[in-house]
Amino acid sequence: MTKSKELGNFIKMKRSTLCPTQFKIPVDSRRRVKGLRREEVADLAGVGVDWYVRIEQGRENVSPSVAVLNSLSKVLQLNFAEKEYLFHLADKVLPMDNEPCITVSETLQKFLDSQNPSLAYVVDCNFTVIAWNKSATKVYGGYENASEKERNLVWRVFRDPYTKEILDDWEGYAKLRVAQLRTSSIYENNALMMAVIEELQNNKLFEHWWNSPEIVGTPEGQKLLHHPVVGDLYLNHITLETTEIKGAYVMIQMPIDDNTKIKLQQLIL
């Protein structure tokens, strides 16, 4: 099978998985199409219907542009891995800066919300929290009005007094974040992380740990938090990789005991 045919089959398959009501398209008993119609996808993507049909049919003389592929990716709700695959089939290079602001899908946000009262949030490759559920913001403080830098876990552990207050093992956690940042090399040619590092180098502990090759820190796992309202929270931590956003991870912190679960439920009422 040629790439053009694979591209058409892939788009057709993804089209069939979409729910019309997601796009406020009315559905009645006469509708027989599985997923969206071709013309509906074309309209949502801002592409001519004839052109879209030719793409889906896998015509050899059709070469969708980067703009069209980006638009189709959004309509078809593709995650990062699927989007890479789409661009590969179209013999196009996926622009890494094509989206100025990284956003999570409605599906991933619903997953985070479904984890309540457990804490659930998404951390990108810069260690910045980019999505969260209600429990996470009630325990760790409001992310809603925080800037990108203020949502960065490395910056937060050194600059946010509240974070230092609730962590039972602040030093172990801080060491871990410094070690993760230093060994990841993500700060190279990265304006956000270079700004964070430059600011934190005024902190003696950060500077000492940053220049210490043997720093380890406390591994993520079971943790104790001292919440100012409900008291001690005992949590188990698990990290899941997501294919939706390159380099991003889903962090879930679950109550270890019933007492902690009850306290978390009280916070999100």
What tens-digit pLDDT sequence spans the chain (269 residues)? Answer: 799 999 999 999 999 999 898 888 888 888 878 889 999 999 999 999 999 999 999 998 889 999 999 999 999 988 878 888 999 999 998 876 544 456 788 889 999 999 999 999 999 989 999 999 999 999 999 898 899 999 999 999 999 999 999 999 999 999 999 988 888 878 877 888 899 999 999 999 999 999 887 777 777 788 999 999 999 999 999 999 888 888 899 999 999 999 999 999 999 99
Task: Specify the pLDDT at position 100.
Answer: 43
Class of 106-267 in CATH: alpha beta
Measured CA to CA in angstroms, residue 122 lies from 55, 71, 109, 201 at distances of 34, 24, 9, 26
Task: Specify the pLDDT at position 107.
Answer: 86
Task: Specify the pLDDT at position 98.
Answer: 46
pTM of the model: 0.73
CATH fold of 3-89 reads 434 Repressor (Amino-terminal Domain) (1.10.260)
CA 26 to the chain's CA centroid: 30
Which ranges in the chain are annotated with CATH 3.30.450.180? Answer: 106-267
Task: Specify the pLDDT at position 57.
Answer: 94
Task: Specify the pLDDT at position 40.
Answer: 94
Which ranges in the chain are annotated with CATH 1.10.260.40? Answer: 3-89
- Helix/strand/coil (H, E, C) string of the chain? CCHHHHHHHHHHHHHHCCCHHHHCCCCCCCCCCCCCCHHHHHHHHCCCHHHHHHHHCCCCCCCCCHHHHHHHHHHCCCCHHHHHHHHHHCCCCCCCCCCCCCCCCHHHHHHHHHCCCCEEEEECCCCEEEEECHHHHHHHCCCCCCCCCCCEHHHHHHHCHHHHHHECCHHHHHHHHHHHHHHHCCCCCCHHHHHHHHHHCCCHHHHHHHCCCCCCCCCCCCEEEEECCCEEEEEEEEEEECCCCCCCEEEEEEECCHHHHHHHHHHCC
Task: Specify the pLDDT at position 101.
Answer: 52
